[in-house]
Amino acid sequence: MESLTERERRVLEAIVQSYVETAEPVGSRTIARRFGLGVSPATVRNAMSDLEEKGYLFHPHTSAGRVPTDRAYRLYVDSLMRFPALSAALEERLREDLIAEGSAISAIIYRAAQALSVLTQELGVAVVPSLDSVILEHLELLTVGSERLLLVLTLRSGVARTVFVQVPGVLHPEAVVSISVVLNERLAGLTLREIRQTLPERVRDSAKTSAENELLDIFVATGDQLFDLADPAPDEVVIGRTSVLAEQPEFSTGPKMRELIELTEQRAVLRKALESRADSVGLTVTIGGENESESLSRLTLITAPYRSGPLSGVIGVLGPTRMPYEKVVALVEHTSKLVSDLLR
């Protein structure tokens, strides 16, 4: 990235702050008057011309002012912005929002995304924790119909999941009880990943009757699906209040609003963007064209991972590249730490 003089850096910082606040192209007189740089509007104008030449600003045809480019926001995030601490009142409000009702993991993540939407006025986003490395403590088989079982999985960290198992033919209660015992003996204490990878070998030759053998064959044949709880379904990509983005000037026209609606409906795009950050350490900020997906190319995605033992996921904020980065970064970082604490 091309080096800037100290004056250029100060002018660029002022332009970014002004544009984030007003959503209006910024002129030299505004910068000279509001930000106390100690130089004339003419000097600011020269610095702005140099910044435009270097790719940090662009000049809308309908205005005499300048607008920051993605490159400007990147420099701002990397080396210009300050990281203010959250107030005690804001921290307490965030904690109260997250522990409001119920301690289920999905409920905590949902409330965290909602809280981020409200507090940042951007779109809170998150994925539920990956369960691939969580250990199975106990399973139970319940008959719910003549050809249907309910598999109840109790996982370490207090997580529980239920999966329906379709059985062709008549269920024999004795076989259900026996296979439940076998599966607990052979699988309890393993991670879900280990179960999927080794299920056939672990339960081989454990059936004593033909009815047990038929039921066990079903678990062997469908084990990859029954014990695959690691990848959230599309509706488990959590999205906060889209209405806060609808109020942003960037989405004031019909076509842009349709783009926003389509994005929130295409959960697979958001899930891919979020899950690609699951192994990251600390904060990740991708701005505009830095995002892999074309549908995110005019947006900024700020995320941080949350972890508690084997549970992990990503939470963050999606919004226009024109966003109050200091505030959003502080809130995302604090929320990820708070979610990690609550999951423990």
Q: Which residue has the tokens 């966003």?
A: 323
The CATH number given to whatever domain includes residue 57 is 1.10.10.10
HSE, CB side, 13 Å, CA atoms: give it for residue 168.
Answer: 4
Task: Confirm whether 249 is domain-assigned.
Answer: yes
The CATH number given to whatever domain includes residue 169 is 3.30.390.60
Whether residue 116 is found in the same domain as residue 246:
yes
Backbone angles phi and psi of 281, in degrees to 5: -110, 115
Beta-sheet pairing, 123-130 with 284-287: unpaired
* Angle at alpha carbon of residue 189, lines to 186 and 190, rounded to 5°: 80
The CATH number given to whatever domain includes residue 115 is 3.30.450.40
List the structure tokens of 88. 């005690």
Task: Confirm whether 199 is domain-assigned.
Answer: yes
Task: Confirm whether 329 is domain-assigned.
Answer: yes
Q: How far is CA 199 from CA 132, 188, 190, 252, in A?
A: 15, 12, 10, 54
Q: For residue 95, count CB atoms less than 10 angstroms from its CB and return exposed for 0-12, middle for 13-18, buried for 19 or more.
A: middle
**Which residues, listed in sequence order, are joined to residue 304 by a DSSP beta bridge?**
315
Q: Tell me the pLDDT of the chain (344 aa) as tens digits.
A: 568 999 999 999 999 999 999 999 999 999 998 888 888 999 999 999 999 999 999 988 767 789 999 999 999 999 999 887 888 888 888 888 888 765 667 788 889 999 999 999 999 999 887 777 789 999 999 998 878 899 999 988 667 778 888 888 788 899 999 999 999 999 999 998 899 999 999 998 888 898 899 999 999 998 888 887 654 444 478 888 888 888 888 887 777 778 777 877 778 888 889 988 888 888 999 999 999 999 899 999 999 999 877 778 899 999 999 999 999 999 999 999 999 888 77
Whether residue 221 is found in the same domain as residue 312:
no
pLDDT score for 259: 79
With the CA atoms of 206, 212, 217 and 223 taken in that order, what torsion angle do they form, in degrees rounded to the nearest 10? -80
Task: Confirm whether 1 is domain-assigned.
Answer: no
pLDDT score for 229: 67
Whether residue 320 is found in the same domain as residue 296:
yes
Report how far residue 315's alpha carbon sits from residue 322's, in angstroms, rounded to the nearest whole number: 20
Report how far residue 11's alpha carbon sits from residue 17's, in angstroms, rounded to the nearest whole number: 10
pLDDT score for 300: 96
List the structure tokens of 35. 């930000």
Task: Check: CB of residue 332 under 8 Å from CB of residue 320.
Answer: no
Report how far residue 165's alpha carbon sits from residue 199's, in angstroms, rounded to the nearest whole number: 16
H or E element at residue 270: helix 267-275
Domain boundary among 209, 226, 243: 226
Domain boundary among 226, 246, 272: 226
Q: How many CB atoms lie within 10 A of CB 218?
A: 17
Task: Confirm whether 238 is domain-assigned.
Answer: yes
pLDDT score for 231: 45
Backbone angles phi and psi of 78, in degrees to 5: -75, -35
Whether residue 152 is found in the same domain as residue 254:
no
Domain total of the chain: 3
Query: By three-state DSSP, how is residue 312 classified?
Result: strand
pLDDT score for 228: 79
Whether residue 246 is found in the same domain as residue 124:
yes
Whether residue 238 is found in the same domain as residue 339:
yes
Whether residue 239 is found in the same domain as residue 323:
yes
Q: How far is CA 154 from CA 61, 159, 227, in A?
A: 61, 6, 12
Orientation angle between helical segments 210-226 and 173-187, nearest 10 degrees: 50
List the structure tokens of 130. 């990956």
Task: Confirm whether 169 is domain-assigned.
Answer: yes
Hey, CA dihedral for 291, 119, 20, 266, is it positive or negative?
positive
Task: Confirm whether 339 is domain-assigned.
Answer: yes
Whether residue 277 is found in the same domain as residue 204:
no
pLDDT score for 102: 58
Beta-sheet pairing, 237-239 with 284-287: unpaired
Orientation angle between helical segments 192-203 and 173-187, nearest 10 degrees: 120
- Count of helix runs (H) and strand runs (E) in the chain: 13, 10
**Which residues, listed in sequence order, are joined to residue 230 by a DSSP beta bridge?**
none
Whether residue 187 is found in the same domain as residue 55:
no
Whether residue 236 is found in the same domain as residue 120:
yes
Which range marks the domain in which residue 152 is found? 136-226
Whether residue 103 is found in the same domain as residue 241:
yes
Q: How far is CA 293 from CA 41, 280, 318, 332, in A?
A: 40, 19, 13, 22
Q: How many CB atoms lie within 10 A of CB 281?
A: 7
Whether residue 49 is found in the same domain as residue 111:
no
Domain boundary among 198, 226, 254: 226
